[in-house]
Structure formats: structure tokens, C-alpha cells
Amino acid sequence: MHRFKIQSKDERTFFVTGEELHHLVKVLRLRPGDKIKAFDNTGAEWLGIIEFISEDMASCRIIAEGYPEVEAKTNVYIAMGLAKGEKMEWVIQKGTELGMAGFVPLRTSRSVVQLDHKKAENRVKRWQKIASEAVKQARRVVEPKIFPVADWAELPEIFPANMQWLLPYEEEKNTLFSNILQEFDSNYPIGILIGPEGGFTPEEVAKTKELLNARSVSLGPRILRTETAALAALVMVLAFFGELG
Amino acid sequence: MHRFKIQSKDERTFFVTGEELHHLVKVLRLRPGDKIKAFDNTGAEWLGIIEFISEDMASCRIIAEGYPEVEAKTNVYIAMGLAKGEKMEWVIQKGTELGMAGFVPLRTSRSVVQLDHKKAENRVKRWQKIASEAVKQARRVVEPKIFPVADWAELPEIFPANMQWLLPYEEEKNTLFSNILQEFDSNYPIGILIGPEGGFTPEEVAKTKELLNARSVSLGPRILRTETAALAALVMVLAFFGELG
């Protein structure tokens, strides 16, 4: 069944508007009588029947309301150095399916990709769309937040002081992922720092420890591409806290 | 440093031939005096200096030999229903980086992709190449085997009777991944069965239990794309057995 994000509803009706309406009418060609699901990022989900469609909205009578237990209780964020090609899109899409809470595109020393202010804004909009589509695919009810492209110094401003940061790092031979996770508290958010293709510089690694008190961990002896590392680390954190079955 | 798969060596020299030679000479433009690494799927790795290059081979004097502890001790295979686009390629590439032992492309009921014998052969050759490139990227020393496209009935013939099969299945609400893994023995190979985009049919699920004694497991409440499920399950199995740091 198709799913839509909504901005407005009343007690017995929800309304599909804007781009979601366009998708409903022009792409999916849904009509009065069709059943759809809706969510609004509060954790609720509604089942409704389309009653009528105007130029501005599709009005849907609510048949059922629920609070599906589909969101991860542990809030895990990925902060990823700007990488080439479609790697960011890939991590955002699959990270959303897996259950991440949010994503920060990070300007790092070795990023080949440079984005001026306008490009960065457009890219973030596109990434938020990808996250929104993945939310529907995964049947989630809360969209992960895609943050504006950030510099290192902004991370302590964006996130609370109780954020627990992990730094998967190929130079780290000694510290087992699971050992570190045992020291983390899943009641507080967790952040995973992933470097661009060239990895982090030693200065950046030092900065993660200074600024963020990040714990560096090994992801094992095999060298992973940046996007593989991002997803592997995310899966390991979510699985450790029981969020993946 | 560049890595090459070799077929022949003697005590003090290894030889790069065939397509690997082409890559060395024409693409990477390496020359006598350059240092390279070599592996031959036995677990060994050599560091050598190119001494001379002919039309048929590059002859390299061995400077060092080692048995890097880079391969996963637990042998994990993925058997994946033929899926569209580049999903097979992604899973093979990233599965190889992560440490999988092998990959079986599986003909399943709901696979949209149909491959006749010739297409299947060519596809497998391409997939083996992708695995070989990923082995170099990851600095592994043993290439995972990409099996010929198989039908269900062939799986018990391809794999030993002590193979332990997992079936991540979205209809499975009750069985936690970690509970099942606690019953597995990492001394014996583990296989992960992944459906195509439409998933497995109930008949196929029954067949996995009959033919393979597969244990079905949940991957959590969110619906994952086929390639996300494949990688998440692989990460969870490898991480459980300590293969990812």
C-alpha cells in the first residue's frame, strides 16, 4: 500500500498536499476509493480512504490509527565526509531503511568533493528526498533528518553534549567494536564518524577526540570502502542494541 | 601499493601474466623497479620488485612473504535471488570487502531477471571480476568463489551437509538473529539466503526448511531492500563471530 507524508489532518481526515499530492495523482494515479497510509513524523500512522481530490489536496477519511513499533529506539546518526559519485545517496537510502536517526554531510580535509553554498543546499534537498522515499520503502513513520553540510567545529553545536561518538578507523588495531559499545548507553544518541575516500587525517582524528570525545574502533582487518564502512558500522551499532531483530 | 593475482611462482620469483599483466603494463604503467604485492588464493601474500617485463609476463623478485591474518575464519556464503539492476554487483563487491567466502546467484520464483545459459555464464564471469577487484581493494588474499547460477535443488549438492543456513524473512516476527546465531558453530560454513525484490514465496520458504534445514530469522521491523538485507545479514553474522573488529 502506498504511503504519504502529510502536514495536516483533523480528527477524522488527513490531507495529502504539495509534492505528495502530485505523486498521488499524477504518478500513482490513485482515485477516490483507494486506500493509502499516511505518517507525519510524530510516530503515528493512519490508514485512510481517499474521499475527494482537488487541485490542492486529497482528502482521506481515517479508517485506522496506529503507533507502529517500527522506529529504532536507539538514535544513531552518521556523520560522513563528502564522498564522490552516489556514495552519499547510497548511505542515506540504506541507512534510512536500516533505521538511522539522521545524517550529517561533513566537510573533511581529504574530501575530493567541494560544494559551494548553493550546491550544498541543493544536494541536501536531494538527500532529504532520498531519505523520504526510503522511509516509505521501509515503512518507517519518522524521517531521518539530513543536516546541512557541516564543518567539524559545528558538530558539538548541532548535537548534545551527551552524544556518544564512534570513529571506525583502519589504523585502530586494538579496540573491538563490541567492547566500546558495551560502554555506550543506548538512552543517549550515538554518532558514527566516517571519512571520505582518503580517510581522515591524523589531525582530524585528534580533533574527533578533542571536540567530540570520539572512541576509535576497528572494523576488522579488511579495508572497506567509505560507504561499506558507514553501513557496516551502522548495522553493528543497531544490531548490538537489538534494533535489527 | 598495487596487488595482483598470480598463477605461477618459484622460490624467489613470482610471475604476473594474462589480464593481470595487461593491467600492470597498460593501465597502471608499472615498470621494472616498482614494488607490487601478489596473492594466489592460498592465503599467502608476497612483496616483490618487478625485474623484467616481456609480452607474456612480468617477473618479480620476492622481497618478503607473509600470511596476513586478513581472511575471516568463519566462512559465510550469500545465496541471493537474481535481482535487477546492479544489486548483485553491489552485494558481491561489498560482501567481498566485508569478508564473505562465496556467493551463489539463485534462480527464484519471483526473480524478474531471467538469464539463459549463455547470459548466466557471462554474468558470472563479470561477477567474479568484481569480486577479484574487491579482494584487491580490501587487501584480502583469497578470492570468494562466485558460483554458477543455481536452482534451489542444487544448493544441497554444492554445499556440505554441515552448512548452516539462515533465512532472513520479513514474515518472521519471533526469532531473534542473535538467538539463532548462538546455536550456530563457526567451525562450519554459514549460508545466508536472500530473496529477490519480491521476496521468497511460501513454497520456497518451506523448501529452504526441507532441503537445507534453514532457520528463519527477523531482521527487525523495517522492510529492507534485497541488497540491504544481504549486507546487513552478512555484517551481523561476521560481527557476531568477531570478524569485524
Q: What is the pLDDT along chain B (245 residues), one digit of tens a residue?
A: 999 999 999 999 999 999 999 999 999 999 999 999 999 999 999 999 999 999 999 999 999 999 999 999 999 999 999 999 899 999 999 999 999 999 999 999 999 988 999 999 999 999 999 999 999 999 999 999 999 999 999 999 999 999 999 999 877 776 678 888 999 999 999 999 999 999 999 999 999 999 999 999 999 999 999 999 999 999 999 999 999 98
Q: How far is A178 from chain B (nearest CA, A)?
A: 8
Interface test with B, best of A45, A224, A228, A238 (most B CBs within 10 A): A228
CB B63 within 8 A of CB B38: no
Comparison of pLDDT for A180 and B170, the residue scoring more: A180
Percent of chain A past pLDDT 90, that is, above it, reads 92
The one-character DSSP state at B150 is B
- Residue A172: pLDDT band by 50, 70, 90 thresholds? confident
Are the beta carbons of A228 and B97 separated by less than 8 Å? yes
Whole-number Å distance between alpha carbons of B31 and B238: 39
Q: How far is A198 from chain B (nearest CA, A)?
A: 13
Helices B226-240 & B87-98 angle (0-180, nearest 10): 10
pLDDT of residue A44: 97
pLDDT digits (tens, 9 = 90+) for A135-146: 999 999 999 999
**CATH numbers and ranges of domains, chain B:** 3-66 (2.40.240.20), 76-240 (3.40.1280.10)
CB A187 within 8 A of CB A71: no
CB B216 within 8 A of CB B205: yes
pLDDT of residue A3: 97
List A residues 51-80 in contact with B (Cβ-Cβ < 8 A). 68-70, 72
- Residue A179: pLDDT band by 50, 70, 90 thresholds? confident
DSSP B82-120: --STTHHHHHHHHHHHHT--EEEEE--TT-S----HHHH
pLDDT of residue B178: 80
Q: Which residue in B234, B170, B183 sits closest to B213, CA to CA?
A: B183
Whole-number Å distance between alpha carbons of B197 and B88: 12
Q: Which residue in B84, B124, B80, B87 sits closest to B104, CA to CA?
A: B80
> Cβ neighbours of residue A229 under 8 Å, at least 6 residues apart?
A168, A194, A219
The one-character DSSP state at B46 is E
Mark residue B99 as left, alpha or beta (left: phi above 0; alpha: psi -120 to 50; beta: remaining): left
> ipTM > 0.90?
yes
Whole-number Å distance between alpha carbons of B112 and A190: 39
> Does the beta carbon of A178 lie under 8 angstroms from any beta carbon of chain B?
yes
pLDDT of residue A177: 81
Nearest CA in chain A to B90: A228
Residues from chain A that touch B98, judged by Cβ atoms under 8 A, are 222, 224, 228, 232
- Residue A178: pLDDT band by 50, 70, 90 thresholds? confident
Q: What is the pTM of this model?
A: 0.96
> Does the beta carbon of B133 lie under 8 angstroms from any beta carbon of chain A?
no
Q: What is the mean pLDDT of chain A?
A: 95
pLDDT digits (tens, 9 = 90+) for A190-226: 999 999 999 999 999 999 999 999 999 999 999 999 9
Question: Integer distance in angstroms from the first to the last C-alpha of chain B?
Answer: 24
Residues from chain A that touch B168, judged by Cβ atoms under 8 A, are 245
Are the beta carbons of A70 and B222 separated by less than 8 Å? yes
Q: How far is CA A33 from CA A52, A144, B67, in A?
A: 9, 31, 66
Are the beta carbons of A221 and B94 separated by less than 8 Å? no
Q: How far is B93 from chain A (nearest CA, A)?
A: 10
Q: What integer is the mean pLDDT of A6-24?
A: 96
Nearest CA in chain A to B142: A222
pLDDT of residue A43: 96
pLDDT of residue A171: 73
pLDDT of residue B176: 75
